[in-house]
Structure 1
Amino acid sequence: MDDMQEFGYNREAGFMWLVRGKKKKTKHTFKKIKQTVSYAGEVTAFMEKGKLKIAGMKTKELMIWLSVVEVYVDESAPGKVTFKTGTGLSDSFDATAFELGM
């Protein structure tokens, strides 16, 4: 995100945040998986080993925007990243889809 204004990480609490210069949301499409996500002006997350419990991120599924509440990598499938929505739906993708420059 090129307009990032603030980023912080509290190691003890496992909490991170980022605030963009513009307070409005931004959309991004991951080309390899043809998946569009939307980021709010402020994104926060609690981190655990292999997992983010996140707020401020949505994904578009069948023309409906759903809040992403968790992003994780399962130890049994380290090459996959799973996104879980607030409705309980989840989808896994190859980690290579999220490499920089893609």
Structure 2
Amino acid sequence: MYFDQDEPQDVRERRLAEERAAGRVARAEAPLELGAAHLGAGLVVVAVVLLACFGKVVAVGVVLGVFAVWFGVARVWVRYDGGRGWHAMGRAYGLTFGWGGGF
């Protein structure tokens, strides 16, 4: 975003609204790259299975609960951003588990 302190307020607000709208359209049209998200989800599944094997039922519940809330918040955020349908679900999935690309 470009910022000019001498720019009139109404011009700045209009420009920022146009930039936000352009970003929203770009996110809606961008192809989903879910490889990292699949890796992150797989790591969570492995962690939950290992915790369950060692009898840590409370830890399993905490891990699953954290990721369920995280996905819910991501889904609301994507919906607020104008996302609809399966593309929006994919974006929320990517926001939840996309950290797997760091491995």
Q: Same fold (TM over 0.5)?
A: no
For the aligned pair, the TM-score class normalised by the smaller chain equals under 0.3
Instruction: Select the structure of larger CA radius of gyration.
Output: 2
RCO greater where, 1 or 2, for CA within 8 Å and sep 6 or more?
2
Query: Taking structure 1 as the reference length, what is the TM-score of the superposition?
Result: 0.23
Q: Which has the higher helix share?
A: 2
Q: Which has the higher strand share?
A: 1
